[in-house]
Amino acid sequence: MGNKQTTFTDEQLEAFQDCTFFTRKEILRLHARFRELAPHLVPLDFTNNPDVRVPPTLVVTMPELKENPFRDRIVATFSEDGLGNLSFNDFVDMFSALCELSPRELKTIYAFKIYDFNRDDFICEDDLQQTLNKLTKGELTAEEVTLVCQKVIEEADLDGDRKLSFSDFQNMISKAPDFLSNFHIRI
Amino acid sequence: MFCNFFRAQRLEEASKLSSWKQWRQSTQRTLRRLRDEAQEWLSSLKLWRADIHQIEGMFGTGILSYFSFLRFLVMLNLIIFLLMFSFVMLPIIIMFTTNVILFNIWNPFMELYPSSARRGLVIFHEHITDLLSGGGFLEQTYLFYGFYQVNQIHFPNIKYNLALAYLMTTIAYLFLSLIWIVKRSALGFKRNLVQDEDRFQSFCNKIFAGWDFCITNENAASLKRSSLLYELRTDLEEERIKQKIADRTRKEKCRIYLIRFILNIFVIGVLAGCFYSIYVATIFSQEHVEYLMYEYLPSIVITLANFITPLLFSVIINFEDYSPAFEIRFTLMRCVFMRLTSIGVLLFSLWSQITHCKDETCICGYNHELYSCWETRVGQEMYKLTVFDFIIIVAVTIFVEFPRKLIVRHCDCGLAKWWGQQEFSIPQNVLEIVYGQTICWIGTFYCPMLPAICTIKYFFIFYIKKVSLLKNCRPATRPFRASSSNFFFLAVLLIGLALACLPVSVSVAQINCSQACGPFVGYNTSWEVLPTAVSELPTGVRSVIEALSSEAFAVSFFVVTCLAMFYVIALAGAHKKVINQLREQLVLVSLVK
């Protein structure tokens, strides 16, 4: 079955298998899903590495991402141009980093990037407020939002600068028991 | 971007390595890939994988953990049954079928105890009665202890000590259950140790690790959102209550403590009343065996008590003014205590019946007139409890949950609004199956086929609960955290196992085994088989075993274990100190910056 496909060369598949957590079958399946998003854009034959990017508006319609409050941030984090346009490599990277086999360290790195809305390598109170509003769809009152953000900074900020650096975040996530089981997308 | 980086790195490395190392690397990669595929294939064989995926997608990880717990129990019971089958039943089956054995020691002291098997023309409904009560024709089958009347089996080349095998298998299955549960709970326990209390880092956990990225269903997403909202609001409420508790005056404190004291006395009174009624019901049912209803009286009383007391506890806890998190845990603890102790009371009342004769002391150590084969009677009680438990679960699902859904959906009256749609209450369901499993552990010694019955029972319960969940329930508004719930399930199961070991060890070691049936005829207690068998071993092995079981060894082992424990505790304390010091240093460093 694997020898008859013409989407990728064997070297490409080997390379994909080595730097992601997917098997050959899964990578071919991912290609089919990628193509499904924009059949007129994405070619069937990837053997000559075409430079095809799918815009974020199409990617967030995927059933795996549709209900996720952070879908825009996830797509933006994994896109190379930072605007949300995903090439196939970005697409595979995204699902590989978020899959079940992906280790805690990798997920922590990407979680930090996703929650850092203003991309200043710190999760400040403003980022926290945006995260909370996306999570609850604006159902909390402003006073409750401020209170919650203050508590979060109190709990996780170790060096006292009123914002979370990557090491604060990493330390906090290592103690969060649900992180690994919740922060994964099944595809 | 990530993939390209890795690829470039790998190509660079590959050009630097010799061909031997390249070959070794590629072999390692192939082996790892093979191992991953093998694991994937193995996990696809797991029982009910598709069903559990479906439940996870629709109801989240809390309810998922209940169903995977159920699957674990099915596997555990199956393994226990296979153990009992291969070491206890199989030799007897071989003995019966081959019929070549020249000597099997049917004990000369044994008189066939008057069996209640019916003779002559048997009316059909009496078979059903027998099936439900475990009496009649069932007493003469592999189901109960009384059937295994063989002490030793002489096969052509070896002598098989069935009595010893029976005892060792009992110890083995209890031990195996313990190891398996501890192994499964090790992960959850480590995490719970890391968190000092439940309030540690709770806001961060909810915001950064709270959303389940696996959710694909719109309904599930809005439910998850509302449950997160509920959790956050509850936490803010907890903070407020903590502040209020800190601000309490002395007079208020006295009043609250007085109320709590009175309510606890009330709870103890209720529990004592329930236990006494179970005791009375058991004695009554032992004395009157005419009607099926009387035989099931203890089960009915236990089920009623276990139905009423949780409702009572959840009402009482509202007056005791604890913080919400503590309320949930305390109510749960009370329910666990009630469920598991009711089995203990039943066994205690059985024991008092069995070991009390009309005169002061029993000649045989047990009441041999009424209970010529008391182990079979205990086995029958456990069998009846299991059957009744299953019947109740099916009946409640069919006659309460489905009508409730119909009423709530179609009727618009006040009752429907107040009752509301069914919620899948995870703690109560878990207690139900732990209760069933405890009965299974206790009963397997007296009823070797009970694990098989329990496997089938849990198998059907999975499907019944799944259908009921999908058709009748809405997800709980009070979310149950998956990580701590796994630990909670296994902790309750461990308590059940500890409780199960107690009656089994008392009856094996203390109560004289019946002389009219069973494999231990001729011995005083069932435990005696072991020392007798040890004394027949060659001298070298015997002296080793005697050294291991002597007091000197036990005391020194205990002392060494205590020392190890103190060392580990001291180490943990030292680590905590270091962590605090490092934390302070971090703050200082950032201030200096």
Going from N- to C-terminal start, the domains of chain B cover: 50-536, 537-593
What average pLDDT score do residues B397-420 get?
80
B154 strand-pairing partners:
B159
pLDDT for residue B21 = 82
Of the pLDDT bands very low, low, confident and very high (cuts 50, 70, 90), residue B557 is very high
Of the pLDDT bands very low, low, confident and very high (cuts 50, 70, 90), residue B7 is low
Give the E-state strand segments of B416-481 in sequence order: 422-423, 473-474
Q: Give the angle B297-B302-B307 at the CA atoms, nearest 5°.
A: 125
Of the pLDDT bands very low, low, confident and very high (cuts 50, 70, 90), residue B373 is confident
Q: Which residues of B touch A68 (CB under 8 A)?
A: 211, 213, 215
Q: Do B3 and A182 touch (CB under 8 A)?
A: no
Q: Which residues of A touch B592 (CB under 8 A)?
A: none
Of the pLDDT bands very low, low, confident and very high (cuts 50, 70, 90), residue B197 is very low
Q: Do B205 and A178 touch (CB under 8 A)?
A: yes
Q: Which residues of A touch B35 (CB under 8 A)?
A: none
Most confident among B127-141, B295-309, B360-374, B519-533 (mean pLDDT) = B295-309
CA dihedral B337, B340, B342, B348 (to 10 degrees): -120
Q: Do A135 and B481 touch (CB under 8 A)?
A: no
Q: Does the pLDDT at position B573 exceed 50?
A: yes
Q: In this complex, is the C-beta atom of A12 within 8 Å of any C-beta atom belonging to chain B?
A: no
Q: Which of B351-355, B447-451, B514-518 has the lowest mean pLDDT?
A: B514-518
Q: pLDDT tens digits, residue range B213-251? A: 888 888 778 878 877 887 788 788 878 888 888 888 888
Of the pLDDT bands very low, low, confident and very high (cuts 50, 70, 90), residue B103 is very low
For residue B351 the two structure tokens come to 């024991």
Whole-number Å distance between alpha carbons of B229 and B559: 51
3-class DSSP state for residue B252?
A: helix
What average pLDDT score do residues B532-557 get?
87
Q: pLDDT tens digits, residue range A83-93? A: 889 999 899 99
Report chain A's mean pLDDT, rounded to a whole number.
88
Q: Does the pLDDT at position B5 exceed 70?
A: no
Distance from CA of A77 to the nearest CA of B (A): 11
Q: Do B33 and A23 touch (CB under 8 A)?
A: yes
Q: Do B207 and A185 touch (CB under 8 A)?
A: no
The number of C-beta contacts closer than 8 angstroms across A and B is 147
| Segments in B288-323 forming alpha helices (H) | 292-295, 297-316
Complete DSSP assignment for chain A: -GGG--SS-HHHHHHHHHHSS--HHHHHHHHHHHHHH-TTTS-S--TT-----B-HHHHTTSHHHHT-TTHHHHHHHH-TTSSS-B-HHHHHHHHHHTSTTS-HHHHHHHHHHHH-TT-SSSB-HHHHHHHHHHHHTT-S-HHHHHHHHHHHHHHH-SSSSSSB-HHHHHHHHHT-TTHHHHS----
Q: Is the pTM of this model over 0.90?
A: no
Contact partners, residue A108, CB within 8 Å, separation at least 6? A169, A170, A173, A174, A179
Q: Does the pLDDT at position A82 exceed 70?
A: yes
Tokens 């959790």 locate to B231
What average pLDDT score do residues B476-483 get?
55
Pick the residue with more confidence: B587 or B433?
Answer: B433
Of B207, B213, B220, the CB nearest to A131: B207
Q: Do B204 and A183 touch (CB under 8 A)?
A: no
Buried b (16+ CB within 10 A) or exposed e, B92-127: beebeeeeeeeebeebeebeebebeeeeeeeeeeee
Distance from CA of A150 to the nearest CA of B (A): 10
Q: Which residues of B touch A89 (CB under 8 A)?
A: 1, 3-4
Q: Does the pLDDT at position B433 exceed 60?
A: yes
Of the pLDDT bands very low, low, confident and very high (cuts 50, 70, 90), residue B1 is very low
Of the pLDDT bands very low, low, confident and very high (cuts 50, 70, 90), residue B122 is low
